Amino acid sequence: MYVLSLITELSSYGVIKIACGDNHSLALTRDGRLFSWGSNGNGQLGIKQERSTRHHNAVPTQVEGLADVTLQHIAAGGAHTAVVSLTGSVYVWGSNSHGQLGLLVTQDVKIPYKLKLVREGVKHISCGENSTSFLFKNGELYVLGMGVGMHPHQWYKTELSPGRTDKTHLYSSLQSYGRYTFVVEQSSGRPFVLDHGEVGDLDLNGPSQYLQLDPLEETPFADVFGLQSLPEWPPRWDNVDMELYKVQKDGTFDKMF
């Protein structure tokens, strides 16, 4: 049985956003400061620690490397972290095993790094297990990490690349979890899904395949939402958790508790 308890170290800071990865957590305060705690095995906390405690930190600690940066969005992946400043700049750190940080190395990044591959103007960010996606103010989608490469059996040659930008379609909402990234198209309000693990299932001798956005109604997720309700997907919703909501026949959303 789980019991809710107050995180006393944060009780006086005015927390406005929380993000959780596999084994680490983040908290953004009203004045734009970032706190992190939990596992730090891949540097996902972004804080300096003594050798004896470098793999774990139970106490929320401010990320000093961003002390002079006011943040507006935070996201936690499996073992990596990404945040967006008020000016739309992106900072990343933690595991880069699949290029999810947008860096051309596989080493972990221990402190916040300003991503130079993404231009300023990001309005929303979301992290999957091994992926990071950005939504720009103009609606363009930018994706980093697992499955981004052209061929699934050349991981370290294709995944560790600058990423892919979708300039053909514009999107209004973005949410990632696990191996999936979900977006909502601006013009139609239709939901689409990226399966970051799908390209890895191809036969070794099979054809090359790009990671692509598939209409939600053509995937198994359609069973969760109901085909008749898909056109009424709210195009302006951010942070929609696919596991917490379902669409009833009348198109309304009910929480699944």
Per-residue pLDDT reduced to its tens digit, 226-245: 544 444 444 434 444 444 33
Report CA 30 to chain centroid distance, whole Å: 21
Per-residue pLDDT reduced to its tens digit, 186-210: 888 888 888 776 654 434 444 335 5
Classify residue 51: in a domain, yes or no: yes
Classify residue 41: in a domain, yes or no: yes
Cβ contact 110:43 at 8 Å: yes
Classify residue 201: in a domain, yes or no: yes
Write b or e for each residue in 81-95: b if 16 or more Cβ atoms lie within 10 A of its Cβ, otherwise e. Answer: bbbbbeebbbbbbbb
The model scores a pTM over 0.85: no
Classify residue 229: in a domain, yes or no: no
Per-residue pLDDT reduced to its tens digit, 72-92: 999 999 999 999 999 888 999
Domains: count for the chain: 1
CATH of the domain at 13: 2.130.10.30
Classify residue 177: in a domain, yes or no: yes
Tell me which residue range forms the domain holding 92.
Answer: 8-220
Classify residue 42: in a domain, yes or no: yes
Classify residue 245: in a domain, yes or no: no
Instruction: Name the residue among 6, 77, 72, 91 with its Cα closest to residue 42.
Output: 77
Classify residue 1: in a domain, yes or no: no
- Which is more confidently placed, 199 or 26? 26
